Structure 1
Amino acid sequence: MSLAPQTEISSAERESGLRLLVLEAAFSSGTGALTSGVILTAFALHLGASNLWVGVLASAPFITQLLQLPAISVVERLRARKRIAVVTSAIGRAMLLVMAATAFFTGALPLLVFLLAQYVLCGLSAFGSCAWNAWIRDLAPEDRLGNVFARRTTWTAGITLVAGLAAAFILERTTEGSADRSLAFAAMFVVGCVTGLLSATVVSRIPEPAMPPPSGHISLLELLRAPLSDVNFRRLLIFVVSWQVAVNLATPFFTVFIVKQLGFDVSMVMVLSALSQLANLFALRFWGALTDRFSNKSVLLVSAPAYILSIVAMIGASQSSNDIFVIGWLAFLHLLMGASVAGVTLASTNIALKLSPKGAATAYVATNAMAIALAAGLAPIVGGLLADFFAARQLELLLSWSSPAGTLSFPFRLSHWDFYFLLAGVFGLYAVHRLSMVAEEGEIERREMVEQVVGRTLRAIRNGSSVAGLRMITELPPSLLRDAKLRFRLARMRKRRSQRRAALP
């Protein structure tokens, strides 16, 4: 097994490398499913993390993306992308064993070790991904990229879903705060470390084409000057920053909200996360077809407000004491968020590439990535700092209806995390406003886009449902609308005819 680049790669070696590339996704997605997202936050809460600690932990994957900038210089100097990717992956995944060990200790020190290990893991991952992306881009043929990464995405979605449900099953059978739950978290991170090291082993067997000769030194300031002087791209950056603040101010604390404020177990959060992943997977093709047919901005003007409204609607879960209603409401919102964020992710990435001039895409994409990293990294930290402030505040509105039969009261209370969801809505509305100022060729009106989304959804219901009543519901309104239009036109023609006859001498 050699980590050195190859000047020549045979067809057989390339095909073997592409197969290993798909296999690697199965191991790496297993690591991510068992050691990140909801499980990572739940583990931190199990260790006694405060809201600020949760915010700082949630910022790690974003803040560390800034390390890709110095990584570019290192890759250009060493010109050994596979060696960099394998070494950083192996050392980073080893941090998962350190994090697993903290499950058996209490106090502030284990939390600090846990946080530092997560930052080392994310930092090395960001550093290695710079080498990985460039390497794989050179390995996979242009006409095979879509197929290879589609297969990787399928493996990733499947493994993530299965591992997430398995984690929920395990956590459901352990008591919160117990030694059994400590053992469960430790076991997940140990298994995540093993699958991560297997991923690094597979990566080491993928051939690396030798890099072309260096084209000369380019300073960071020169790299960023062109994107920042582009007025239209600056407008896109303002949208990106405000959007990331809106999303990451609230979403990292969903687990805290559901577990601490609503009183559900972590396993419930895992099931909701699985629902969101399913909706995301099924919606990707739907949004992809719309972006190809219309424009990325048109998709964003529909999917972004839908996602923001879903975040604000989380407030509804704290207004009811009926667990069945709350669970159903949370499930509905997670399905909607999973579907809408698929459109946001796809379209926001595409629009950044589309607005990048040919020959200068690297600088524009790098600038966009830096803006995302800074905004998404700082937002949860600010959220954690403000958590205690909002925890001591409550806003209550009381609507009452009085009649001879009595008085009905409808209390509406905002407390703690509810304020975050409301703030996210404010920032989200501002982000959508900034998006409207971005110019993209081929964009259409939001109303037309909504009609297309609704039309496709209704067709999917008609095609996929065997319930006759449901088919009638979807078919009746358009038929009534067509009849109404015909009647209106007929009445207008008769009126004009009578007016012309009256005007005749």
Structure 2
Amino acid sequence: MKLLRPTEHLTRTETEQGLSLVIYDGLATHALVTLTGGVFLVAYALGLGASNAVIGLIAAIPPLAELLQIPGVGIVERVGNRRLVAVLTSLAARFFWIPIALIPFMAGSESALPILVVSIAAYSALSAIKHCSWKSWMRDLIPPEILGMFFSRRMTLSFTLGVVLSLGAGFFLDFLRYDTGINPLIGYSALFLLGNAFGFIGTYFLAKTPEPKMTVRGGIPLRSLLSEPFADGNFRNLLIFLCTWSFAINLAAPFFTVYLLKRLSLDITLVIALSILSQVCSIVSFSFWGRLTDRYSNKSVLRLAGPLFIICLIFWPFTGMPEPHSLTFPLLVGIHILMGISTAGVTLASSTIGLKMAPKGTATSYLASISIFSSLTAGCAPIIGGFLVDYLAQCELSGNLIWTSPWFSFSVKAFQFQHFDFFFVLAFLIGLYSLHRLVFVHERGEVEEKIVIRAILAMNPREMRNFSTAGGLRNILRFPLTGVLPAAGVPPENGTDEIPE
């Protein structure tokens, strides 16, 4: 494994090449996730005869598997080679999509679902260990001065590819179903095998990415390593914010599509169109949020994007209150536009704030703690919601606005919450508490919201053009990242080509 050994000092050229390879790996990995997850995986499981309980289990497995980052921290510290751990676990995890894809050809009806669930669990377990090593590796590879710009570019390109692949896969499945009469499960198998091929390509790029040598602290017990983040009061406050935010979002998000289809009775094509609208808004706003995180701080962006997102949550009940009305569709369009823009800011800032606040060289346990507890709350929220959803179907909370006078009187229904509305309101309240906890997090470079808002309003038309579809899409196509380090203001140190810490 000589080719996978870490490097003591990376030159600027090696770092730039590494950043480009991380982009390529991100594109390939997102292609895998797009073609093997989401609606495609759910539809495949339903085609195999999965019940609602099995669907819930499949949704909960990936986040709950992130608990395996606890032993993953010990593995990374013991091996001392994050690239080796990431490549081997990534390679092993990809193989489990092969039996999943071959279920229609080799499995009977009784063994199909057990194979699906066990394979997903194995894939998720290995991926959790890979995530543990990968995040610590990226913390040392990517200069902190460009974290926001780099991850905004990576996420934007990945989301763009995801939209294209989703549309292509949808047309492919429709063609098989309506024009050829082939079993739809075979179409899903083809998508899974194609996605898995992208996954192996991503592992190849991962193996070629250079790794700065990590600080190995031999002899430290695993319990001590895992307790380090909790001894840091500031990082502990960050954990509380991220966990409560994760719980709030995952309590409501699983029911968005169900709400649109069942409560509002929208056609599936219209639901997909709204989803794509939201994703496009995310794509074109990633670079905008990325510049703000680098210029100010991740916390400053969270304090802007977070309220935007939770405001969208409280507007969901009004799209069908008490029944669908003339403003339902305009409200849905506005909600999806704002959610797309705010999701980009929240996703980017919450992903990079932990990288920025974790100590360089010894970040493994810090970043693992974020993944462990955020994933735990993300896994528990939909399970709790699943238990409550049937009970709340029989509940209603309403109120009337009544006016009485000697001349006339009237009564207007002020609000009417029922079924899914309770999830949106509860998620809104938990989101408010989460933003309150963000106040206690301190990040270097943070400024008040009014300063960031003033800076946004002061942007010239050339800068704001990146918020438009055309300007935003032109901006994201600038890759690979050759020359990004000098542009970010990272000068040579002592006349050499090495990257300063």
TM-score of the superposed pair, with normalisation by structure 1: 0.74
Partner residue of 1:372 out of 371, 374, 377 = 374
1:435-474 correspondence runs (5 A): 435-440=438-443, 443-447=446-450, 449-450=452-453, 452-453=455-456
Equivalent of 1:257, from 259, 263, 285?
Answer: 259
SS in 2 for 1:414: strand
| Structure 2 letter corresponding to 1:436 | V
Residues 235 and 357 of structure 2 are in contact (CA less than 8 Å); yes or no, is this contact kept in structure 1?
yes
Identify the residue that residue 304 of structure 2 maps to in structure 1. Answer: 302
Q: Which runs of 5+ in 2 are unaligned?
A: 469-501
2:24 is the counterpart of 1:5: no
SS in 2 for 1:97: helix
CA displacement at 1:427 relative to structure 2: 0.8
Aligned to 2:472: none
**1: CA distance between counterparts of 2:363 and 2:6?**
27
Give the conservation status (yes or no) of the 8 Å contact 1:259–1:265.
yes
Pairwise CA distance, 1:383 = 1.4
**Does the C-alpha gap of structure 1 residues 134 and 271 become closer, same or farther in structure 2, counting only changes over 3 Å?**
same
TM superposition shift of 1:92: 2.1
Higher relative contact order (CA 8 A, sep 6+): 2
Give the C-alpha shift of residue 289 in structure 1: 3.1
Instruction: Provide Cα deviations, 1:136-195, integer angstroms capped at 9, x if missing partner.
Output: 6777899998887676445423321211222343456658xx975434433322321232
1:97 equivalent to 2:101? Answer no
CA contact (8 A) 1:75 1:81 kept: yes
- Matched residue, 1:422: 425
Distance in 2 separating the partners of 1:122 and 1:20: 23
Cα 1:272–1:240 shift into 2, 3 Å: same
Q: Which is greater in Rg?
A: 1
Greater alpha carbon shift after TM alignment, 46-55 vs 194-203: 46-55
Query: What CA distance in whole angstroms lies between the structure 2 residues aligned with 1:464 and 1:373?
Result: 31
**CA shift in 2, pair 1:15/1:446, >3 Å:** closer
Is the contact made by 2:249 and 2:427 (CA closer than 8 Å) also made in structure 1?
A: yes
Contact residue 172 and residue 267 of structure 1 kept, 8 A? no
Distance 2:239 2:142 in 1: 30
Establish whether residue 233 from structure 1 lines up as the match of residue 235 from structure 2. Answer: yes
CA positional deviation for 1:312: 2.5
Distance 1:423 1:212 in 2: 43
Distance 2:129 2:397 in 1: 45
Q: Report the Cα distance in structure 1 between the residues aligned to 2:366 and 2:136, rounded to whole angstroms.
A: 16
Which deviates the most, 426-435 or 54-63? 54-63
SS of match in other structure, 2:169: helix
- Superposition RMSD on alpha carbons, in Å? 4.4
Q: Residue type matched to 2:200 in 1? A: L
Indicate how the Cα distance of structure 1 residues 389 and 127 shifts in structure 2: closer, same or farther if over 3 A, else same.
Answer: same
Q: Flag the 1:412–1:113 CA change in 2: closer, same or farther, 3 A.
A: farther
Instruction: Report the counterpart of residue 197 of structure 2 in structure 1.
Output: 194
Taking structure 1 as reference, are residues 440 and 387 closer, same or farther at Cα in structure 2, changes over 3 Å only?
Answer: same
Task: Quote how far apart the aligned CAs of 1:277 are.
Answer: 2.3
Q: Which moved more, 1:166-175 or 1:365-374?
A: 166-175
Residue 339 of structure 2 aligns with an amino acid whose one-letter code is M
* Equivalent position amino acid for 1:258 in 2: L
Change (3 A) 1:385 1:286: same
Matches within 5 A, 1:103-502: 110-133=112-135, 152-153=154-155, 155-170=157-172, 174=177, 180-204=183-207, 206=208, 214-264=216-266, 266-319=268-321, 326-353=328-355, 355-356=357-358, 361-397=363-399, 412-440=415-443, 443-447=446-450, 449-450=452-453, 452-453=455-456
CA drift of 1:246 comes to 0.6
Quickly say closer, same or farther: Cα 1:459–1:378, change in 2 above 3 A. same
Distance 1:348 1:19 in 2: 22
Aligned-partner Cα distance in 2 for 1:151–1:321: 41
- Unpaired runs of 5+ in structure 1? 466-505
Deviation per CA, 1:320-346: give whole Å up to 9, x if none.
766985454333322211211222233
Read off the aligned partner of 1:383 and give its amino acid letter.
Answer: G
- 1:13 and 1:448 map into 2 onto residues whose CA distance is 37
**Cα distance change on mapping 1:44 and 1:254 into 2, 3 Å:** farther
Alpha-carbon spacing, 1:179–1:308, altered in 2? closer, same or farther (3 Å): farther
Query: For the structure 1 residues 440 and 144, does the alpha-carbon distance in structure 2 shift closer, same or farther, using more than 3 Å as the test?
Result: closer
> SS of the counterpart of 2:417?
strand
Q: Normalized per residue, which structure has more helix?
A: 1
Contact in 2 for aligned 1:52/1:387 (Cα 8 Å)? no
State the identity as a percent. Answer: 37
Compute the displacement of 1:442 (Å). 5.3
Aligned length: 461
Change (3 A) 1:405 1:170: farther
Query: Would you say the 8 A contact 1:164–1:270 is kept in 2?
Result: no
Which deviates more from structure 2 when the two are superposed, residues 329-338 or residues 433-442? 433-442
Aligned twin of 1:494: none
Q: SS of the residue aligned with 1:216?
A: coil
Judged with a 3 Å threshold, the aligned counterparts in structure 2 of structure 1 residues 299 and 27 are, in CA distance, closer, same or farther, namely closer
Matches of 2:183 and 2:409 in 1, distance apart? Answer: 52
CA contact (8 A) 2:139 2:360 kept: no
Q: CA deviation at 1:14?
A: 8.4
- Distance in 2 (CA, whole Å) between partners of 1:46 and 1:320 is 34
Query: Comparing 128-137 with 277-286, which one deviates more in the overlay?
Result: 128-137
Residues 172/329 of structure 1: CA separation in 2 closer, same or farther (3 Å cut) = farther
Q: TM-score, normalised by structure 2?
A: 0.74
Q: Distance in 1 between matches of 2:376 and 2:82?
A: 26
Amino acid in the other structure paired with 1:188: L
Instruction: State the shift of 1:440 in Å.
Output: 4.6
Q: Quote the Cα distance in structure 1 between the aligned partners of 2:457 and 2:81.
A: 50
Q: One-letter code of the match for 2:69?
A: Q
Which deviates further from its counterpart, 84-93 or 352-361?
A: 352-361
Deviations 1:400-447 (A, max 9, x none): 899999989658543332221111011111112222344456544445
Distance 1:268 1:85, change over 3 A: farther
